[in-house]
Amino acid sequence: MQNEKLAIIGLVVIVVGAFSIYLGVMYGEDILANLSGEGETIALGDCADVHYVGTYASNGTVFDFSYDDAEAKTGGMPLNVFVSLNSSASPPEGYEDYVTGIEGFIEGLVGLKKGETATIGPIPPEKAYGLYPEVGDTLYVTDPSTGAVLLNIEFVAIEENVSIPEEYVEMLGNGTTTLFTIKDLSSVVGDYYNIYPSWINATIITKTNETKMWIYTTPSQDKQTNFTWIDPIMGIEYWENASSITGMNNSTIVVTHTPAINDTFVIQDWSDMVTYTVVSMNDTAINVSYDDGAGNITYDVIDRIVTIERNESFDIAYEFPQDLMEYLIYQAQQYNPDITMSVHPLAGKSLTFEVKIVDVYKAS
């Protein structure tokens, strides 16, 4: 038992030592010196009440403050800060209303004492609110587990104070926004574009320009008869091996479904699986029945013939209002936290903060 205790103590010493080395490498020796904090000195993991005046480092213009009177530095409510360099970490129990801040601000708080005033900064954009995109900038994101390309775009236009496009009004309301036009760079002539799940590697990109790409579809011989049709828009898998190409020329492909009576296929509804059963069929339509979920048999009609354009074009340039672009970048950062791009109003700015430490809570 004594040997087991000694082994555990040794392991703890190794882990703590390794963690200290990690912090030293990542954040410098000053962080190590203040990690545990003495008395009322701020350390990582603590919470603090902080008054501040934020200014642009370039010209000293005030952009935000916690006081009622920023010039006299009187009144107001201090900011409740959770001193953590992990923006996704939760504050300690009892301090749920404390929030972390930008990296440079948090780093500047570490080591300060209750009652102390200090100037933090200038904080570069990379440690503040990020770098604002410019025309020509690209954003490339892969899935770290598979290596698959998730996002590969170029900013081709940025317009300020424009009306929110009509297609976004229902979501965002009327008003003005900064509008970002992005181009999908993943569309390369000669690459496959798998728009039809029934025909993998049958569609190839033939041409692109600044706003569009063109594709051409040629199903392989083994996928022209008795294959399973999967709707390219809804993803619905129809009757197994019941579809065939009944006509094809340079411009169109005609697919005809020929299921047997009583053949079924299943659709995932919002809350249930719905089974469709063939009850009759003519040259152009397939009549199906299904349970409506209340025990009633309902009937529907499915087109028996699908006509596909072999040569199609698609947009590869898209307009994103600022709110949606901000969300897109946020999602990209979930895969790659090192992305410093941002469309925050303070992005691209170097910032300075004059702070006063009102109180320190040794929550760590």
pLDDT at 51: 97
Q: How far apart are CA 134 and CA 132, in angstroms?
A: 7
What average pLDDT score do residues 43-50 get? 95
- Write phi, then psi, for 231 (nearest 5 degrees): -60, 125
3-state secondary structure 269-304: CCCCEEEEEEEEECCCEEEEEEECCCCCEEEEEEEC
What average pLDDT score do residues 176-196 get? 94
pLDDT at 295: 80
Residue 29 pLDDT more than 70?
Answer: no
Domains by residue range for the chain, with CATH: 34-129+345-361 (3.10.50.40), 138-187+316-335 (no CATH), 217-311 (no CATH)
Q: Which residue has the tokens 């604002």?
A: 132
Residue 30 pLDDT more than 90?
Answer: no
Residue 158 pLDDT more than 60?
Answer: yes
Residue 32 pLDDT more than 70?
Answer: no
CA-to-CA separations, 237 to 297, 302, 341, in angstroms, rounded = 22, 13, 40
Residue 22 pLDDT more than 80?
Answer: no
CA-to-CA separations, 274 to 235, 239, 277, 286, in angstroms, rounded = 15, 14, 10, 17
Q: What percent of the chain has pLDDT over 90?
A: 77
Quick one: pLDDT band at residue 270, thresholds 50, 70, 90?
low
pLDDT at 39: 59
Quick check: 311 and 251 in contact, CB under 8 A? yes
What average pLDDT score do residues 249-258 get? 97
Quick one: pLDDT band at residue 2, thresholds 50, 70, 90?
very low
Per-residue pLDDT reduced to its tens digit, 310-341: 999 999 999 999 999 999 999 999 999 889 99
Per-residue pLDDT reduced to its tens digit, 60-79: 999 999 999 999 999 999 99
Residue 23 pLDDT more than 80?
Answer: no
Residue 229 pLDDT more than 80?
Answer: yes
Instruction: Let me know how many helices (H) and strands (E) the chain has, helices first.
Output: 5, 19
Quick one: pLDDT band at residue 9, thresholds 50, 70, 90?
very low
pLDDT at 241: 96
Residue type at 179?
Answer: L
pLDDT at 210: 87
What average pLDDT score do residues 154-179 get? 93
Quick check: 54 and 61 in contact, CB under 8 A? no
Element (H, E) at 53: strand 47-56
pLDDT at 273: 84
What average pLDDT score do residues 217-224 get? 96
Q: How far apart are CA 121 and CA 66, in angstroms?
A: 17
pLDDT at 1: 34
Residue 259 pLDDT more than 60?
Answer: yes
Q: Which residues pair with 130 in a beta bridge?
A: none
Residue 364 pLDDT more than 80?
Answer: no
